[in-house]
Amino acid sequence: MLPLNTIAFLVENKAGVLFNVSNMFRRRGFNIESISVGAVEDPQVARMTVSVYADSKELNQIVLQLEKMVDVIKVKRLDPMRSIMREMVLIKLDTVDPMAREETLRHVNAYHGLILHIDPESLIAEVTGEPEAIDEFISKTRPIGIEEISRTGVTALEKGNLKLER
């Protein structure tokens, strides 16, 4: 399988930019694994993080095609060794069975998660971590009975004085 890469980039914070970015990925046949968008200090700018399965040639093309876009300001491939990558998952588990509830609590604690809501039949937990850790957490809780899941996609920052500067 192709390696999973993370690319962070700054874009103009305006209508249509997310469409243009995802349209470029679709058109050129690059497969987005996850994408996250959010505001930064400058209200006119948004930061996107995309993770994508690609070989190095493809990854190079992705970066160049992004750089070519008028509304894309700055692009960087993130080196996993020099970056902090995080993703959050919200998960709703079937916890009618008290044993299930207990097991859920154990897993959530092990992954430093939070219990956000408890109902008689189910419970919602939040876990944040590296995407692989989220995968792990999900596979561990699967036997309990997952009712619903929502992942944010990866967001990332580089360590030290490395920056996605304009």
The interface mask with another protein, positions 38-77, x = CB under 8 A, is -------------------x--xx--xx-xxxxxxxx---
Question: Amino acid identity of 27?
Answer: R
Q: Does 166 bind another protein (CB under 8 A)?
A: yes
Q: Would you count residue 163 as binding another protein (CB under 8 A)?
A: no
> How many residues appear in the chain?
166
- The Cβ of residue 36 has, within 10 Å, a number of other Cβ atoms equal to 19
Instruction: List the interface residues with another protein, window 82-111 (CB under 8 A).
Output: none
Pick 13 or 128: Cβ nearer another protein: 13
Contact yes or no for 82/33 (Cβ under 8 A): no
Q: In Å, what is the CA distance from 100 to each residue of 23, 97, 144?
A: 42, 5, 6
- Both tokens assigned to 53: 């399965």
Task: State the DSSP code for 142.
Answer: G
State which of positions 7-36 bind another protein (CB under 8 A).
11-12, 16, 19-20, 23, 27
Rank residues 12 and 136 by Cβ distance to another protein and give the closer one: 12
- Which residues lie near another protein (CB under 8 A)? 11-12, 16, 19-20, 23, 27, 57, 60-61, 64-65, 67-74, 166
